[in-house]
Structure formats: structure tokens, C-alpha cells
């Protein structure tokens, strides 16, 4: 795997030595965009951590939780806790999945004496990917290669539950050739919302239609975000509108792995 250069603060770089990271791949990355997972691996390993991908990991339980199926959500949470609790850090290339583990597992299992403390411990070491690189690993620059203008969408869970906003922008601005063009209302929902877009397709379509207008108005050639669900929803709408804007996960650009087909495009295009 090709190396990319990462610059650290000295103290934080020293602290990465010997630390083990468990990568929570997420269902959507596994099924629809494995390159995001490979990009996450590259970024974390280049930051000096020992990385593993537990084979026993499952869905984080968020779809069940948001739909009111608390018992299945709890069962999935326990499976995730068992798979990841021995790692120093748990990292996910998704604000929504990371937030589910970090913010909702403790309250969901608070009344279970066998799991409450384990849920708290796992929650305390779970991070969204880019936030982990900046806030934990101390990465402040990435010498990746990308030429063009980009705009960044702030996904709801990452922004509101994990305070992920400035971290991706800081790393993107450090990449030579990247021009960051902020869209209006970058922090407004794209309409995906997990099962929301399935249960309320007309409302979801109206919301994402407003979002694609702000994306187009930014003048950027590429749309980036940190959650694949949001990206797939916006990419689908952009394609239906005939837009030429490319859609990619921010990790693919940061890891210098943005030379393949964009989200929603077929290989060879």
C-alpha cells in the first residue's frame, strides 16, 4: 500500500506507539463502497496505529433503534461491544455509526447491570474517522494529491452529536490543489436520515432537492462528506438531475484514493 505523508505534533505522535485501533467498517461501506474502508485503513495505519478489523462486528443497531425496535438494537449493541471492547480506540468512517456507539449505547444499556459499564467504556473510546485523526492522533496536514474544487456537507449526526465540522475542513485545506468552496446551509440535512428516506420518500426528495441546489450554487466540482448514506442520497439526486458534480467520501480524498469512479458512477467512466 502506498504511503502518504502525515504531519503530527511531536507528543501526540509518540502516544500512537503500540495503540490498537478496531475499525468499525459500517454496513453501507461494506456493501456499497469498500474503498472508503480501505481509505480508512490507510489513514489510520499511516498515523502510526496498529489497526484490526474484527470479523465479528455487525450493524451498530441504529436502524432498529431509530425505528423503535429497542430489543434488537440492544442485541446488536452487545455484539459490537464484545467485538471491540479490547481495543484502545474504535474508529468508524461514519459520524452516524460512531455517534450511535458513543452517545446511545450507554443510555440504551444503562439499566442492564451486566452491560452498562461495558457500554460506557466502549463509548468513551469511539471516534469518527476524521475527528480521530485530528483530535486524537494530532494530524494537522496531509500531503495527498487532489486537483479541483470541493464543497463539504456536514452530516447531521457527526455535526450535532460529535462536533465534526472543522476537522475535515482543516485537513482538506492542507492538501495542495484543493479549493474549498463552502455551500450555503452546509449543516442542513440532506434528507437521508436512514430509514426516514424509505418511510417518507416524498419529504426526503424535497429535502435533498434543496440540498442539491446549494451544492450546484457553490460551484464546486466535487461534493464530499463523512457519511456514506448522505453521500449516496445526494449522489442519486444529482445524477437524476443530470449534474456533473462528483460525489466522494472525504476519506478517499484524504487517503489519495480518489482516482476511481465517484459514488453513483460506473467503472470505466
Domains and CATH numbers, the chain: 6-134 (3.40.50), 143-254 (3.40.50)
Among 97, 103, 23, residue whose Cα is nearest residue 60: 97
How far apart are the C-alpha atoms of 135 and 141, rounded to whole Å?
A: 13
C-alpha 190: how far from its chain's center?
Answer: 15
Q: How confident is residue 266, by pLDDT bands cut at 50, 70 and 90?
A: confident
Is the pTM value of this prediction over 0.85? yes
Contacts of 213 (CB under 8 A, 6+ apart): none
- Are the C-beta atoms of 73 and 6 separated by less than 8 Å? no
Task: Specify the 3-state DSSP secondary structure of 87.
Answer: coil
Cβ neighbours, 10 Å, residue 260:
10
Q: pLDDT digit string (tens) for 68-80?
A: 999 999 999 999 9
The string of pLDDT tens digits covering residues 185-206 is 999 999 998 888 888 899 999 9
Q: What's the maximum distance between 2 C-alpha atoms anywhere in the chain?
A: 54
Inter-residue contact 207 to 189 (CB < 8 Å)? yes
Task: Evaluate the CA torsion angle 112, 116, 119, 123 in order and state its sign.
Answer: positive
**What is the three-class DSSP state of 102?**
helix
Matching residue, cell 502518504: 4
Our measurement of the distance from residue 164's CA atom to the centroid of its chain's CA atoms, rounded to an integer in Å, reads 10
* Partners of 39 in the β-ladder: none
Question: In which residue are the cell numbers 475499525 written?
Answer: 23
Q: What is the distance between the alpha carbons of residues 252 and 225, in angstroms, rounded to a whole number?
A: 10
Average pLDDT over residues 208-215: 98
Q: Give residue-wise pLDDT tens across range 149-168.
A: 999 999 999 999 999 999 99
Q: Hunting for cell 480501505 — which residue is that?
A: 38
Amino acid at each position: 500500500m502506498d504511503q502518504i505523508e502525515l504531519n503530527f505534533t511531536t507528543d501526540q505522535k509518540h502516544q500512537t506507539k503500540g495503540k490498537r485501533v478496531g475499525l468499525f467498517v459500517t454496513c453501507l461501506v461494506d456493501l456499497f463502497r469498500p474503498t472508503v474502508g480501505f481509505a480508512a485503513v490507510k489513514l489510520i495505519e499511516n498515523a502510526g496505529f496498529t489497526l484490526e478489523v474484527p470479523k465479528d462486528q455487525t450493524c451498530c443497531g441504529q436502524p432498529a433503534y431509530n425505528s423503535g425496535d429497542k430489543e434488537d438494537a440492544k442485541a446488536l449493541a452487545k455484539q459490537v461491544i464484545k467485538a471491540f471492547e479490547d481495543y484502545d480506540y474504535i474508529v468508524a468512517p461514519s459520524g452516524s455509526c460512531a455517534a450511535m456507539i458513543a452517545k446511545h449505547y450507554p443510555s440504551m444499556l444503562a439499566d442492564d447491570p451486566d452491560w452498562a459499564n461495558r457500554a460506557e467504556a466502549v463509548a468513551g473510546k469511539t471516534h469518527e474517522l476524521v475527528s480521530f485523526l485530528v483530535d486524537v492522533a494530532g494530524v494537522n496536514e496531509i500531503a495527498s494529491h487532489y486537483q479541483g474544487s470541493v464543497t463539504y456537507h456536514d452530516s447531521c449526526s457527526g455535526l450535532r452529536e460529535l462536533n465534526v465540522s472543522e476537522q475535515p475542513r482543516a485537513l482538506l485545506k492542507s492538501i495542495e490543489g484543493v479549493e474549498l468552496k463552502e455551500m450555503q446551509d452546509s449543516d442542513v440535512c440532506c434528507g437521508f436520515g436512514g430509514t426516514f428516506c424509505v418511510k417518507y420518500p416524498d419529504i426526503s426528495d424535497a429535502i435533498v432537492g434543496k440540498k442539491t441546489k446549494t451544492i450546484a450554487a457553490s460551484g464546486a466540482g466535487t461534493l464530499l462528506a463523512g457519511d456514506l448514506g448522505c453521500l449516496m442520497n445526494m449522489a442519486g439526486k444529482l445524477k437524476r438531475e443530470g449534474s456533473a458534480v462528483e460525489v466522494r467520501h472525504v476519506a478517499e480524498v484524504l487517503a489519495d484514493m480518489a482516482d476511481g469512479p465517484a459514488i453513483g458512477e460506473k467503472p470505466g467512466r
